[in-house]
Amino acid sequence: MKRFAITAILMVNLVALTGQVRHITVASDGTGEFTAIQEAVNSIRAYMSDTTYMFIKAGVYREKIVIPSWVTNLFMKGEGAEKTIISWDDYAGLRDMGTFRTYTIWIQGSGFTAEDITFENSAGPVGQAVAVHADGDRAVFRRCRLLGNQDTLLTANQESRQYYEECYIEGTTDFIFGPATAWFERCHIHCKKNSYVTAASTVEGHEFGYIFNRCRLTAAEGVERVYLGRPWRPYAATLFMRCELGSHILPEGWHNWDNPANETTARYSEYRNTGAGANPGARVSWSRQLSRKEAKRYTVENVFARNDGWIPVK
């Protein structure tokens, strides 16, 4: 395998976006410039407009990683999601840590991309334990595995835009949660417990929250009572469209978090879902099935529209 397995097209795109590309190799066996990912991150100069391309060789990296706000335009590339694994095991009840500090990786810097990497919180079913805490704007994950139980993926920061493509995301309760605007394209969402998939906390005035497009929802054996979502905050916005929903998804689909007032503010919708869990006629009355005209508004370009012209789709 070449030292930096990066396509010519990707290189052109990175150069066009930021001007130059710096290369770093991380290898646990000592064959790269760094043996630890955090050491490599710490070597990056602050507030660089150039892209840093970090190739992470196969191995299990037992690290708790922070990508600080001044490390921008970082591209992390693994040798494959089942080969390059980043794992840590903090959880909310450990030393009264609380949910938000349990991350395996905390991404604060903008312009972050990860491809072909597993991010795992290995604490087990012990309560809240975050694998990925994504804060920065313009975050992209492709062909990654996000492994955990409760609160696996925290899409933090209400001004953050995040794009997940062909990722595998698993968990138990509220395992995709937070206020960011996030698009999930052809992802595999796997439920490990009778509970809730999403807990969006979209803020009032933000038109878009979570969009799951052409995703597949599956469950572990014996799991048969799962809600698509419940509102962590009153204006939660979540859409599942063109998704394949397994039989574990309850006919009513959505939960009000034991607060009827949320039914007047939460924005839960679906469009042309399939599978045993797609039951449009049985859904709660305060959710919606979009019309074809309404669904046309949901494009990556519209959802992420801002004056910087950022489009994460290759």
Whether residue 247 has pLDDT greater than 60: yes
DSSP string, 10-66: HHHHHHHHHS-EEEEEE-TTS-SSBSSHHHHHHTSPTT-SSEEEEEE-SEEEE--EE
Give kind and range of the element (H or E) at residue 178: strand 176-178
- pLDDT of residue 31 exceeding 70, the answer is yes
- The residue assigned the tokens 């990497």 is 117
Residue 186 burial class via C-beta count within 10 angstroms: exposed 0-12, middle 13-18, buried 19 and up: middle
Q: For 168, phi and psi rounded to 5 degrees?
A: -110, 120
pLDDT tens-digit profile of 263-294?
Answer: 999 999 999 999 999 999 999 999 999 999 99
Q: Is the pLDDT of residue 10 over 90?
A: no
Report pLDDT for 292.
Answer: 97
Binned at pLDDT 50, 70 and 90, residue 79 comes out as very high
pLDDT over 70 (residue 9): no
Name the maximum alpha-carbon separation found in the chain. Answer: 59
Point out the catalytic residue in the list 90, 174, 258, 308: 174
CA dihedral over 303, 14, 110, 120, signed as positive or negative? positive
Confidence of residue 48 (pLDDT cuts 50, 70, 90): confident
By C-alpha distance, which of 146, 156, 154, 203 is closest to 174? 154
Walk me through the domains of the chain, giving residue ranges and CATH numbers.
60-70+80-303 (2.160.20.10)
pLDDT in tens, 197-215: 999 999 999 999 999 999 9
Average pLDDT (10-27) is 68
* Average pLDDT for the chain: 94
DSSP string, 249-279: B-TT-B--TT-GGGGGT-EEEEES-BSTT--
308 catalytic residue (yes or no): no
pLDDT at 19 over 80: no
Structure tokens of 278? 């797609």
Whether 96 sits among the annotated catalytic residues: the reply is no
Q: Is residue 314 scored above 90 in pLDDT?
A: no
pLDDT tens digits, one per residue of 292-311: 999 999 999 999 999 999 99
DSSP state letter for 300 = H
Residue tagged active-site, from 96, 151, 258, 308: 151
